[in-house]
């Protein structure tokens, strides 16, 4: 009996220690908004040239409950040719992340670098499917290194703060 009590105490201590470990989980992924405009149909399907693509990304994160955060990946795409706009698309793809025991200094890097990395393949597929459904070849976006973008923006923001300048950090991916 004494051996069992000792082993139960060790198990409880191990479990209790695990409760203090950082834990991350994806609760849900979802399309918040999807807009596809094809203003020059049906003439656009007779255009000969390849349109120029402009792809913009924005990442937003906000707490929505205790240990619960929403991360939204916003993708805006504009395809323009000499003849006019081929199509415009906007996708807001969200993820609900449960975060427990994540140190404060690691919270923002997770929400703005790692969470978008998790969401991106699903948003990429939705974009490809939407372009196919609109009668265009699939638009397969290149993978994005969100960690590098986060580090660049953090360094830029720190440089601006050190230089006495204030403002938001914006950019293209």
Instruction: Sketch the domain layout of the chain as residue ranges.
Output: 23-162
**How far is residue 114's CA from residue 99's CA, in Å, rounded to a whole number?**
12
Residue 84's alpha-carbon distances to 13, 59, 78, 79, 103, in angstroms, are: 66, 29, 11, 9, 49
CATH class for the region spanning 23-162: alpha beta
Give the pLDDT mean for 12-27: 69
Share of the chain above pLDDT 90, in %: 66
Residue 58's alpha-carbon distances to 36, 49, 133, in angstroms, are: 18, 29, 24
Contact 78/42 with Cβ under 8 angstroms? no
Give the pLDDT mean for 41-45: 94
- Supply the pLDDT for residue 18: 58
Overall residue count recorded for the chain in this entry = 173
Q: Give residue 99's pLDDT band: very low, low, confident or very high (50, 70, 90).
A: very high
- Supply the pLDDT for residue 154: 84
Q: Give residue 15's pLDDT band: very low, low, confident or very high (50, 70, 90).
A: very low
Give the pLDDT mean for 66-93: 96
Answer yes or no: is pLDDT of 1 > 50: no
Answer yes or no: is pLDDT of 32 > 60: yes
Share in percent of the chain as helix, strand, coil (round to 5): 40, 35, 25
Tokens in use for 75? 């993708």
For residues 164 and 27, which has the higher predicted lDDT (pLDDT)? 27
- Supply the pLDDT for residue 12: 43
Q: List the single range of 12-21, 102-111, 163-172 with lowest mean pLDDT.
A: 163-172
Answer yes or no: is pLDDT of 155 > 90: no
């Amino acid at each position: 009996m004494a051996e069992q009590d000792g082993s139960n105490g060790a198990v409880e201590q191990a479990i209790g220690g695990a409760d203090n470990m950082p834990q991350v989980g994806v609760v849900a992924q979802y399309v918040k908004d999807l807009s596809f405009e094809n203003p020059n149909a049906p003439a656009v399907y007779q255009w000969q040239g390849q349109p120029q693509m402009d792809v913009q990304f924005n990442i937003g994160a906000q707490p929505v409950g205790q240990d619960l955060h929403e991360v939204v990946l916003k993708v805006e795409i504009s395809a323009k040719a000499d003849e006019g706009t081929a199509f415009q698309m906007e996708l807001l793809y969200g993820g609900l992340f449960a975060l427990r025991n994540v140190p404060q200094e690691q919270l923002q890097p997770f929400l703005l670098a790692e969470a978008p990395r998790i969401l991106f393949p699903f948003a990429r597929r939705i974009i490809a499917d939407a372009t196919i459904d609109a009668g265009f070849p699939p638009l397969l976006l290149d993978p994005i290194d969100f960690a590098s973008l986060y580090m660049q923006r953090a360094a830029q923001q720190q440089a601006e703060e050190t230089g006495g300048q204030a403002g938001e950090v914006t950019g293209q991916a």
